[in-house]
Structures are given as C-alpha cells and as structure tokens.
Amino acid sequence: MNPLDCFSRVFISVASGTLETAYAFMANFIATYNALFAKVPAPN
C-alpha cells in the first residue's frame, strides 16, 4: 500500500464521520510501518 492510498482511505473515513475507524487504521498502519523498519538494522 502506498502512502497516498493510505491517506486517501483515512480522508474518506473522516469525511464519512468514522473518526474512530480512521484513528484505528492509522494506528495499525503506524504499527505495521514500525514493524517493517524494526527488521532493518539501524545505521550506525
């Protein structure tokens, strides 16, 4: 999923009045993002 698709989904959720769904979607997206980058060794 590209960032544009992510934010468009969030925008649609907010526009629909489902703010809690948008928040949960973003929280899940951030958790997935962090999980993916946790596998990448940090630059020293």
- 1-44 pLDDT tens trace: 577 887 888 787 677 767 777 788 889 999 998 888 887 666 66
Question: How far apart, in whole angstroms, are the C-alpha atoms of residue 16 and residue 32?
Answer: 24
Identify the pLDDT of residue 38: 80
Question: How far apart, in whole angstroms, are the C-alpha atoms of residue 21 and residue 40?
Answer: 29
**pTM of the predicted model as reported, rounded to 2 decimal places:** 0.42
Dihedral sign for Cα atoms in the order 7, 23, 36, 44: positive
Identify the pLDDT of residue 1: 58
| Closest among 32, 33, 7 to 22, alpha carbons compared | 7
